[in-house]
Amino acid sequence: MQEDSPVQNENTPDAPHTGQPQRAGRRNRLIVLSAAALVALGLGGVAVATTGGDHPAPAAVSLDAQSRAEAASRADRSARESSTPVTPSASPTPSPSAASASPTPAKTATAKAKPKPKPKKTTKPTPAWVNPMPGAAVTSCYGQRWGTLHAGIDLALPSGTPLRAAAAGTVTQAGDASDGYGNSVFIDHGNGYLTHYAHQSRIAVTVGQKVKAGQVIGYEGATGDATGPHLHFEVHQGMWNQIDPAPFMRARGVDLGC
């Protein structure tokens, strides 16, 4: 026996049309619940997008979650950048000569200066002929006096003044020469000339002694025939051949004042 199938009324709406209001209601409730949850969590805002039709609504996006994602991205990027090896800059290597060279110490003012060499004392060479009593006053020259020849020059200074050899030579006589000369010294100069020093108070040389020009040979006095202390100086060209001492000595650079 065949069962009768139910008869569909033309005025009855199709099944799909009867389910649409229910789905829309469920969507609205989900959106409200999601928004309430976000507000309760204090996330500061919810972006909700709804679309018409049958497509489901997009999920809510949290601004705090996006901020955490960006921070994580930055941290990851900085980690990658810090892991990049950094090439150290080359520092200049000091040259061995510069490192080993030590500064030369400057000379201090306290350093002992080398003493300057003292200039050598130079003495003028003694002339070949000198004045036998320098600075003396002339009391009598060579020539006639009281009718007789005064055969020498008289030079006067205080008694005891040193008498000097007029030139280098050898002493041939030293003592009393008689004939009024008193204590006398004769010096042979080896060139044919002799000098005679009379009236000495004291004799300082001996016969045969070699003397230099200017050497002390005795001291002024008044022995023999003398009216006062003085030197009677004679020049002999050969023994006892007296000549005028003034021109002779002048020719040798000595002025006796006559």
User: Any idea what the Cα angle at residue 55 is, between residues 53 and 61, rounded to 5°?
Assistant: 125
- Per-residue pLDDT, 65: 64
- Per-residue pLDDT, 5: 43
- The fold of the 138-251 domain, in CATH, is Glucose Permease (Domain IIA) (2.70.70)
Task: Write the single-letter amino acid at 198.
Answer: A
With CA atoms as reference, report the closest residue to 23 among 47, 52, 46: 52
Boundaries of every domain in the chain: 138-251
The DSSP call for residue 219 is: E
- Per-residue pLDDT, 7: 39
162 in Cβ contact with 219 (< 8 Å): yes
What phi and psi values does residue 72 have, to the nearest 5 degrees?
-65, -35
- Per-residue pLDDT, 240: 92
Q: What is the pTM of this model?
A: 0.54
- Per-residue pLDDT, 107: 55
DSSP 111-145: SPPPPPPPPPP--PPPPSS--SSTTPEEEE-SEEE
pLDDT of the chain along its 258 residues, tens only?
Answer: 444 444 344 444 444 444 454 555 566 566 656 555 554 555 444 333 344 444 444 444 455 666 666 766 665 555 555 545 555 555 555 555 544 545 555 555 555 667 777 777 777 787 999 999 999 999 999 999 989 999 999 999 999 999 999 999 999 999 999 889 999 999 999 999 999 999 999 999 999 999 999 999 999 999 999 999 999 999 999 999 999 999 999 999 999 999
- Per-residue pLDDT, 20: 53
- Per-residue pLDDT, 256: 97
Task: For residue 201, give both structure tokens.
Answer: 């108070």
